[in-house]
Chains A and B, each alone.
Chain A
Amino acid sequence: MDELERIFDDLRALVEDPSFPAVRRWLAQNPGGKVVGSFQVFFPEEIAHAAGMLPLKIAGAGGTIQVRQADARIAAFVCSIVRSSLELALSGRLDFLSVMVIPNICDAARNACGVWVRSFPHMRVETLYHPHNAASAHAVDYLTGEYRRIGRILEEVGGRPITDEALRASIALFNENRRLLREVYRIKRETPWLLSAVESYLLVRSAGLMPREEHNALLRRVLELLPQRPVKKQDRIRVVFEGGFCEQPALDMLAVIQNACYIVDDDLMIGLRWITEDVPLEGDPWRNLADSYLNRSSYSPVQRDPRKPKAEMLLRRIRESGAEAAIVAAAKMCEPGLEEQVHYARALEAAGIPHLVMEFEESMTVFEQVGMEVETFAESLLFQFA
């Protein structure tokens, strides 16, 4: 097995292991260290890092555990990721968490915060209100205050002040991570045969599961190895996958799609790539983080920003990645995703861009139907483009 294959195998094992082995390793190396969990979509992990804590992205359990206890606490018609994330905690797999932050992305997540508060009285559970009026001239000031509030909580729990210097150093570390991930996506767009959709996904998802210092080193090594990969370009259609901003499709679902298409861009784990440029290091680092969230950032159905009409943003993503078509997915029971899907489909239709609409659930285990739909879609396009 070559080095790249080994790396991707290890990453798959990490992503699919609900015992969070990288976190446990970090705790073994940092006795008494504190872990800050955050739910989708975006959390400014730099703040936790600057407090000497390990930020951990909680993005559901995929199909790796059975949801039992959480179903007794959350209504059955709620998306799978909210339930499986709670199940991770109720089953003791997140016992190492000192703080859990759940941003106000949707009604289910906001309710989930209340459930966590009632379920884990000894854990500090916080909701984080990111602005839904992102274009307001007052949003940056407000969000700076909100980030400082979260910072105060982490200082209290961690027992260590967050200095501006420490926060700037953390921002620099995360800027490097964002730069490396942008490079991963450049490769996806320009030479998608060098990096499969599953592999690129593993590279992104693992960022939230291990210390960023380690992740940066890993990305640097992968980026060094990729150009030497002995693979040839194939005749496949180039698609954008949209709809993975919160609940994540199973890896096998991505594998089925990549068998028929090159996924040249996507919104999978968009929160880990939310800020699209470097966060400035000069000036007030709290404000710089807030300003970057609002003004140097991507888009998703759970953020309202009139400057970023989502259907237009999707068309731009398609144009800039040179895609020929789109797969517009939505997680089952995800209201923001399902509502946006209607707008996306209509905009794509108006622009004459072929697209496939589908629903998924993180715990799906059967993919024949998806495979058949995607293959039929891809073949019809190959025929049409020929």
Chain B
Amino acid sequence: MGTSAEEILGATRREGKRLMDLWWQEMTEAAQTGRPTAYVFAMGSMAELLRTFDFVLNFPEITSLQIAVRGQSQAYIQTAEDYGFSPDVCGYVKADVGLQLRQGEHPYGKVPRPSLVVTSNVCNTYIKWSEIWEHLYGCPVFVVDLPGWRGRDSADLDGETFHNDARYVLGQLQELIGLCEQVTGKRFDVDRFREHLAEANRMAELYHAVCETNRHVPAPFNAVVEGVTYQGIAHLYRGSPEGSRYFQQVLREMQERIRLGMAAVPDERFRLVLVGTTCYSHFRRFVELFASWGGVFVHSTYMVFAGGGFVPGFAYDLSRPLESFAERMVTAAYWGYTGSMFYQQDWLDDVVRRWHVDGICFHGVKSCRTVSTGLPDVREWMRVQRNVPGLFIQSDLVDPRLWSDAQVKNRVDAFFEALAAHKAARR
């Protein structure tokens, strides 16, 4: 490994691109050969289990996001709206419907048809989205129902609520295994499953270690820019040796950046958390608006709820793989998904303290109620209860028609002016 800044910065980026290209190659080949493909979602993907059956995994959130980053989402969304979908429906869904109606032709390759759809209720729109494929292709759809955070009843991981939930999830996983056996004609191999769990354990540990490096001042990576790649690889390669190797490399690079005093944003002045997601149709611009003020995103709720379902401190117990897998699903649903989205004040409180955060950016996504509904309320809670300033801006995930550059810039600029005054007053 080189030590010059350019070499260090380039290595992880190059490897991330190579892995992403490999995934697209696999998908495109599957579209030609008919290899069994499972459509799954970022939250609750069950990748470790599906890998045991050799499914190609398609993540439609990722393919939709990539359409937007390539600047082509408007045309795809328009196709879905012409089909009947309302402007108020999730932009990811509509970009994907446009993709499906174009026979899977994507700017990066070809998306195969689903042999099986596996979803969860972590985002309820996932279920409606899956039903669209069910209508289009008549493919089997399996919902793994993951009961989420229920206040004090969920706090006790030895309690009745947790055990009731874990039993329910385990039962569903056994049903899903039966369905996978039917679809692929393969028997479930518990030893292969165990190997995937072991790899996921390694990756989870490394993923958290990478997130922790950003507690350093200045932050070595931007949780929005690099963070998106990390999440992408965490999903596509979770449970595989390639995935663990990648995060080993990322961790080394971050440690090296810290050693060399390299910062993700030169002249870091403000440390921020992003709540929600960015706007992928204006991805570069979104980041630039903050970076131009010396603002770096040191963490994001996205890296938690969409970060592979890893729960800090949780490792699969390989001696009871399926039970342990069910338990991780439940804890991820409690803490990672619903905890960081619907009851996010506790998570924010912790991150503000440990990552030395100056302010929070709440990005309301017009077509995504999952990440957006309660943002104004959380912003107010953090301001009043914790004296942490928050910015609330609004656009969309992938719909460029909902991005208003002048409005967003005005609000961002005003926020930084206020943030500077606030920071000075706290000194």
- Which A residues are closer than 8 A to B by beta carbons? 72-75, 77-78, 82, 104-108, 110-115, 117-119, 125-127, 129, 131-133, 136-139, 141-142, 145-146, 149, 153, 301-302, 304, 306, 330, 332-333, 335-336, 338-343, 345-346, 359
Known A-B contacts A114-B374, A141-B167, A346-B84; A129 and B147 likewise in contact (beta carbons under 8 Å):
yes
Pairs across A and B, CB under 8 Å, 28 listed: A74-B374, A74-B377, A82-B373, A107-B124, A110-B342, A110-B370, A111-B341, A112-B374, A114-B344, A114-B374, A114-B378, A115-B373, A127-B151, A132-B124, A132-B145, A136-B145, A136-B172, A138-B172, A138-B175, A139-B145, A142-B167, A304-B121, A333-B88, A335-B125, A339-B85, A339-B125, A342-B84, A345-B84
CB of A70, distance to nearest CB on chain B (Å): 9
Flag whether B15 is at the interface (Cβ < 8 A): no
Quick check: A74 and B373 within 8 Å, CB to CB? yes
Q: Tell me whether A136 and B373 are in contact (CB under 8 A).
A: no
Question: A110-B342, A146-B147, A340-B128 given as contacts; is B88 within 8 A of A75 (CB)?
Answer: no
Partner of B90 from the list A82, A153, A335 (CB cut-off 8 Å) is A335
Q: Inside 8 A of A145's CB, which chain B residues have their CB?
A: 160-161, 164, 168
A110 to B149, CA, bound (A): 10
Extra contacts, 6 of them, besides A107-B370, A125-B151 (Cβ < 8 A), are A78-B372, A111-B369, A117-B151, A133-B142, A338-B89, A346-B135
A-facing mask of B117-157, CB < 8 A → 1, else 0?
00001011101110110010000011111011111010000
Please name all residues of chain B whose beta carbon is closer than 8 Å to the beta carbon of A332 when the two chains form the complex. Answer: 88
CA distance A77 to B93 in the complex (A): 17
Contacts of A141 in B (CB 8 A): 167-168, 171
Among A126, A146, A339: residue with most chain B CB under 10 A: A339
Q: Are B161 and A149 in contact (CB under 8 A)?
A: yes
Q: Are A72 and B373 touching (Cβ within 8 A)? A: no
Contact between B345 and A118, CB atoms less than 8 A apart:
yes
**Are B369 and A133 in contact, with the CB atoms below 8 A?**
no
Chain A residues lying within 8 Å of B88, measured Cβ to Cβ, are 77, 332-333, 335, 338
B343 at the interface (CB under 8 A from A): yes
Q: Given A75-B394, A119-B377, A345-B84, are A149 and B160 also a contact pair (CB < 8 Å)?
A: yes
Q: How many residues does chain B have at the interface if contact means C-beta atoms less than 8 Å apart?
A: 60
Q: Are the CB atoms of A113 and B342 closer together than 8 Å?
A: yes
A113 to B124, CA, bound (A): 15
CB distance from B284 to the nearest CB of A (A): 25
Nearest neighbor of B93 in chain A, beta-carbon distance: A339
B172 touches A133 (CB 8 A): yes
CB distance from B333 to the nearest CB of A (A): 10
CA distance in complex: A376, B91 (Å)? 33
**Min C-beta distance of A372 to chain B, whole Å:** 21
A195 to chain B, nearest CB (A): 33
- What A residues does B121 contact at CB under 8 A? 104, 132, 304
Question: Is the pair B374, A336 in contact by a Cβ cutoff of 8 Å?
Answer: no
Residue of B nearest to A119 (CB): B377
A77 touches B378 (CB 8 A): no
Residues from chain A with a CB closer than 8 A to the CB of B129 are: 339
B338 at the interface (CB under 8 A from A): yes
- Residues of chain A contacted by B149 (CB below 8 angstroms): 127
List A contacts of B338 (CB < 8 A): 110
Contacts of B373 in A (CB 8 A): 74-75, 78, 82, 107-108, 111-112, 115
Cα-based distance from A302 to B127 in the complex (angstroms): 9
Is B125 a contact partner of A107 (Cβ separation < 8 A)?
Answer: yes
- Bound-complex Cα distance A189 to B84 (A): 30
Is B267 at the interface (CB under 8 A from chain A)?
A: no
Given contacts A108-B369, A111-B342, A136-B145, contact A301 B128 (CB under 8 A): yes
B294 at the interface (CB under 8 A from A): no
Contacts A107-B123, A138-B171, A141-B167 given; does A335 touch B128 at CB 8 Å:
yes
Residue in B125, B171, B364 whose beta carbon sits within 8 Å of that of A75 in the complex: B364
> Contact: B167 with A73, CB < 8 Å?
no
The distance from the CB of A41 to the nearest CB of chain B, in whole angstroms, is 12
CB atoms of A302 and B124 under 8 A apart: yes
Question: Which residues from A are CB-within-8-Å of B71?
Answer: none
In angstroms, Cα B172 to Cα A146, docked, is 16
When distances are taken between beta carbons in the complex, the residues of chain B under 8 Å from A138 are 167-168, 171-172, 175
Please pick, from A75, A117, A126, A137, the residue contacting B343 in the complex, using a CB distance under 8 A: A117
In the complex, A112 Cα to B368 Cα: how many Å?
14
Closest to B121 in A: A132
Most chain B CB inside 10 Å of its own CB: which residue of A72, A111, A149? A111
Cβ of B125: which chain A residues have Cβ within 8 Å of it? 107, 335, 339
Whole-angstrom distance between the alpha carbons of A306 and B143 in the complex?
A: 10
Contact partner of A129 (CB less than 8 A), chosen from B142, B144, B150, is B150
Would you list the 5 A-B pairs with minimal beta carbon distance, nearest first? A138-B171, A111-B373, A145-B164, A142-B168, A73-B377
* Complex alpha-carbon distance, A340 and B132, angstroms: 9
Contact with A along B355-380 (1 / 0, CB 8 A): 00000000010111110111111101
Docked pose: A349 CA to B154 CA in angstroms? 46
If A78-B369, A111-B369, A149-B161 touch, whether A106 touches B380 (CB-CB below 8 Å) is no
- Contact at A335–B89, with CB atoms within 8 Å? yes
In whole angstroms, how far apart are the Cα atoms of A304 and B143 in the complex?
A: 8
> Do B168 and A110 touch (CB < 8 A)?
no
Q: In whole angstroms, what is the CA distance A184 to B144 when docked?
A: 37
- In chain B, positions 314-347 with a C-beta closer than 8 Å to chain A are 338, 341-345
By beta carbon, the residue of chain B nearest A114 is B342
A105: chain B residues at CB < 8 Å are 124
Contacts of B410 in A (CB 8 A): none
